[in-house]
Amino acid sequence: MTAIRGRYPIADRNRCTLAMPSGWTSGQNLPIIPVSLILNPRKRKRLEMEDAFEVRLHRSGRTIPIPAGETILKTLLDAGVDVDFSCAMGGCGTCETRIVQGIPDHRDNYLSDEEKAQNDVIMICCSRSKSPVLVLDL
């Protein structure tokens, strides 16, 4: 059995064990699951509870529904909207987009906590919306 070292207490190791598929025995291939999802139940629950919302493009007037489990970036690209991006993982800042109205659910690693608190820009490659409609400067 793989030991988890570091700052996680024994209780979290038990939680990790519970996350293994039933019938699993050592030597079998396991699905790749990010450790952060296994060890962080709040993050796992947040991903499970994603809601759909709408993005309104302020300049063009278009309204585009963002389905649960889909990124704003991919949905906009699929809809033919020309947006810049690079890493698509919330780390580079290339997809930063100004928010005209709405409350973002910041999930990137690019903005500082202070910048996230201002709620005036969003990384559309990974962040979502806390409000039913997010109006973007696009």
Q: Which of 76, 108, 121, 134 binds ligand FES (CB under 6 A)?
A: 108
CA-nearest of 102, 94, 95, 137 to 119 is 102
Tokens of 90: 């919330």
Q: Are 21 and 30 in contact (CB under 8 A)?
A: yes
Tokens of 14: 């038990």
Task: Choose which of 38, 125, 135, 136 interacts with ligand FES (CB under 6 A).
Answer: 125
Residues 6+ apart with CB under 8 A from 79: 62, 64
For residue 96, the cross-strand partners are 123
Is 66 a binding residue for ligand FES by CB under 6 A? The answer is no
Select from 4-12, 57-65, 83-91, 99-107 the region that touches ligand FES (CB under 6 A).
83-91
- 56 beta partners: 63, 135
Q: Which of 4, 92, 100, 103 binds ligand FES (CB under 6 A)?
A: 92
Contact region with ligand FES (CB under 6 A), list: 18-26, 79-87, 112-120, 130-138 = 79-87
Indicate which single residue of 12, 37, 93, 115 sits in contact with ligand FES (rule: CB under 6 A): 93
Binding residues for ligand FES, rule: CB under 6 A, are: 85-88, 90-95, 108, 110, 123, 125
